[in-house]
Structure 1
Amino acid sequence: MQIILVSRHLKAARTITIMPRHVVAGLALFIFLVVLTSLLFSWLSVHWRLPVVERLILSLQQQETQKTQDYLSNNLLLMATRLGELQAKVVQLDTLGERLAGVVGIKLDVVPPRKPSGAGGPYVPAPMTAAELQREIDRLAGNVEHSADDLSVLESRLLEKRVKERLLPTTLPVKNAAYGSPFGHRSDPIAGLRAMHEGIDFNAEIGTPVVVAADGVVLSAAYHAEFGNLVEVDHGEGLVSRYAHLSRVDVPAGKLVRRGEQLGAVGNTGRSTGAHLHFEVRMLGVAQNPALFLKQGSEFAQLKRR
């Protein structure tokens, strides 16, 4: 770019050529002067404490302080709310744990509350700081995690107990029956000699329904020379129950049966002198006293004696 200067004092016109570098240098000088002027003005304002500048700085400080206080207040409120939620959760988990422990039949390690000693004095509020709130939240979070672990143990114990209850033969196989020969030694009803009776007899009319004493799988359902029509049910872990002298069999081998499901009916088949059900419980092939299992149920106490 060229600038031509014309003056009446000059005999000829004067030409000035402006290159791009000159423009850049001018802009840089202008920006430098603006920044320098601003810094100088700011220094003079602070040094001589001009009212306008002081009010501006004070207003900015107050705004920043208010923002900081609002932020801290909101955080403290959130932390206090979280603390209250954790306290309620701990109480809820402790109460639930005590109920489950009672159901399962175990005792939890509960530290008895200490009797407070004498104390008094004026009430002076002392709100918790953010650090104190955080420590209390961390402590309660640890308590919640510990209670959750205890509940997991109780849940597994309860599940184990329910499984055992479902698999243990505790239901009377014949309802409204008379209690006949017990488990143990007796005089054989046919031979008249001392013999071992490996089950319990239930005296009832022919055709009276016979139900399974616990959940299981039918191992066999067939005729036996001594037991007559016999049903064997596997309850798992080597536990088997037997139902002998049936007049009929209502289940096939391999069937999954539930506690209280009908297996057949009372009869007088096999080596028998009259209508009754011979009920056995065996563990790993060894005969057990069925009364020890049946007594764990609520029906055995109502059983009629012959």
Structure 2
Amino acid sequence: MHIILVSNRLATAKTLNLTSRVLMALAAGLVILAFALSFLFSWIGVRFNMPFAAELVAAVQQVHNRKTEDYMRYNVSTMAVKLGEMQAQLIRLDSLGERISKLAGINSPKSEASSKDGQGGPLIYSVQPHAAHELQHEIERLAENVEERSDTLTALESQLMERRIKNTLLPRLVPIRADHIGSTFGYRVDPIAGVSALHEGIDFVADQGTRVLASAGGVVQAAEYHPQYGNMVEIDHGNEFTSRYAHLSKIDVKVGQVVRRAQIIGASGNTGRSTGPHLHFEVRFRGVAQNPARFLQSGAQMALNSPAVAMSAPPATRAVATTRNSRAAATFSAPR
């Protein structure tokens, strides 16, 4: 910065060059001078008991304290509003967890927010602001509640995952794309002997060589020829559930092999005690034959909820989804 001084007393104009260092030094000097004057007034007021100096210092201090209090009050009020929003979100999270538990059929522990007594009334703001220690206490309590909700939702997730795994291992997939169902589960007139006999499965009528799929994942327990069932595959799904696929024209799996849901295990045929190409499908629990429609209905119905899927689904799948056979040989309640 250049400053030019012009005066009648000066023969020529003088130029002063002020650098940034000089300006910073001047600013620092002014600040130091202000502090020195403030200290001087304070010392004079105390030393000589001058009221005007003491009042000046007290006024400055009061203004500073007021600004500090306003700043703290604003921050505390903001924290209180945020804390209220977090508490409201926590309550909504509890409600969401309860709804998920009801939909999944799982009992969840009652939370503090949902189990406390009903409260309400008109909103009247308090004149006295929240204290900092009160907010700190609420924040600590909220942190504990959040940790508790996290544990609850984690346990709920584990139970849902366990249920999903169990459902995956239940024989719910229709094992073949068939034209129609020849015989359902229950008593019927035997097509060969002509007498009333118990039919322990469902006969899916399909062309020779139609691929047969595993209704659920598991381990192949039997893959052999049987005098009654013909070429037969039996899969162990765990939890004492098994499924049988009989009268196959060929077998594509081996004993001890782990199969996935919807994996090809063979092809439909006319082997064993059979009158034509079809697939005889059984579901057994603890060795006792169950009505396969009870399992296939749930899986097929989910696929048939959409009209487009329902039109493209094979007739046998639509029949299984709508058939309700009341002639069951054994009563069964699937474990939860």
- Length-normalised TM-score, structure 2: 0.63
CA 1:112 to 1:88, structure 2 compared with 1: closer, same or farther past 3 Å? closer
Distance 2:245 2:80 in 1: 65
CA 1:123 to 1:288, structure 2 compared with 1: closer, same or farther past 3 Å? closer
Cα displacement (A) at 1:237? 1.2
Q: Which residue of 2 aligns with 1:14?
A: none
Q: Which residue of 1 aligns with 2:228?
A: 226
| Stretch of structure 1 that moved more, 281-290 or 140-149 | 140-149
Asked if the contact 1:184/1:196 (under 8 Å) is kept, the reply is yes
For each residue in 1:246-301, what CA deviation from the matched residue of structure 2 results, as whole angstroms up to 9, or x when unmatched?
11122223332222222111100111111111111111222222122112222576
Q: Which residue of 1 aligns with 2:97?
A: 97
Q: Which residue of 2 aligns with 1:143?
A: 145
For each residue in 1:21-70, what CA deviation from the matched residue of structure 2 results, as whole angstroms up to 9, or x when unmatched?
xxxxxxxxxxxxxxxxxxxxxxxx96874679958986997699689859
Distance 1:269 1:219 in 2: 20
Q: Which residue of 2 aligns with 1:288?
A: 290
Cα displacement (A) at 1:159? 1.2
Asked if the contact 1:89/1:144 (under 8 Å) is kept, the reply is no
Q: Which amino acid aligns with 1:80?
A: A
| 236, 258, 261: which one aligns with 2:260 | 258
Q: Which amino acid aligns with 1:205?
A: D
| 272, 279, 303: which one aligns with 2:319 | 303
| Stretch of structure 1 that moved more, 187-196 or 98-107 | 98-107
Distance 1:258 1:116 in 2: 55
Q: Which residue of 2 aligns with 1:26?
A: none
CA 1:287 to 1:278, structure 2 compared with 1: closer, same or farther past 3 Å? same
CA 1:182 to 1:161, structure 2 compared with 1: closer, same or farther past 3 Å? same
| 235, 238, 261: which one aligns with 1:236 | 238
| Stretch of structure 1 that moved more, 123-132 or 285-294 | 123-132
Q: Which residue of 1 aligns with 2:76?
A: 76
| Stretch of structure 1 that moved more, 68-77 or 168-177 | 68-77
Distance 1:132 1:256 in 2: 60
Q: Which amino acid aligns with 1:238?
A: E
Identity %: 49
What is the number of residues matched between the two proteins?
A: 262
For each residue in 1:149-207, what CA deviation from the matched residue of structure 2 results, as whole angstroms up to 9, or x when unmatched?
33133212211221121011111111243122222233332223333222111111111
Asked if the contact 1:173/1:210 (under 8 Å) is kept, the reply is yes
| Stretch of structure 1 that moved more, 60-69 or 81-90 | 60-69
Asked if the contact 1:86/1:137 (under 8 Å) is kept, the reply is no
| 212, 215, 227: which one aligns with 1:210 | 212
CA 1:190 to 1:162, structure 2 compared with 1: closer, same or farther past 3 Å? same
1:199 aligns with 2:201: yes
Q: Which amino acid aligns with 1:257?
A: V
Provide the alpha-carbon RMSD of the alignment.
3.8
Cα displacement (A) at 1:71? 9.1
| Stretch of structure 1 that moved more, 157-166 or 68-77 | 68-77
Q: Which amino acid aligns with 1:196?
A: L
Asked if the contact 2:174/2:215 (under 8 Å) is kept, the reply is yes
Q: 5+ unaligned residues in a row in structure 1: which ranges?
A: 1-44
SS at match of 1:242: strand
CA 1:243 to 1:301, structure 2 compared with 1: closer, same or farther past 3 Å? closer
Structure 2 counterparts to residues 108-119 of structure 1, below 5 A: none
SS at match of 2:203: strand
CA 1:50 to 1:112, structure 2 compared with 1: closer, same or farther past 3 Å? closer
Structure 2 counterparts to residues 146-185 of structure 1, below 5 A: 146-185=148-187
Asked if the contact 2:177/2:317 (under 8 Å) is kept, the reply is no
Asked if the contact 1:79/1:134 (under 8 Å) is kept, the reply is no
Asked if the contact 2:220/2:258 (under 8 Å) is kept, the reply is yes
SS at match of 1:259: coil
CA 1:242 to 1:303, structure 2 compared with 1: closer, same or farther past 3 Å? same
Asked if the contact 2:220/2:255 (under 8 Å) is kept, the reply is yes
For each residue in 1:82-126, what CA deviation from the matched residue of structure 2 results, as whole angstroms up to 9, or x when unmatched?
625633641452354145325413476656995856x58x86644
Cα displacement (A) at 1:236? 0.7
> Which has the greater radius of gyration?
1
| Stretch of structure 1 that moved more, 46-55 or 285-294 | 46-55
CA 1:177 to 1:259, structure 2 compared with 1: closer, same or farther past 3 Å? farther
SS at match of 2:272: coil
Asked if the contact 1:228/1:246 (under 8 Å) is kept, the reply is yes
Asked if the contact 2:249/2:269 (under 8 Å) is kept, the reply is yes
Q: Which residue of 1 aligns with 2:189?
A: 187
Q: Which residue of 1 aligns with 2:5?
A: none
- Length-normalised TM-score, structure 1: 0.68
Cα displacement (A) at 1:72? 5.2
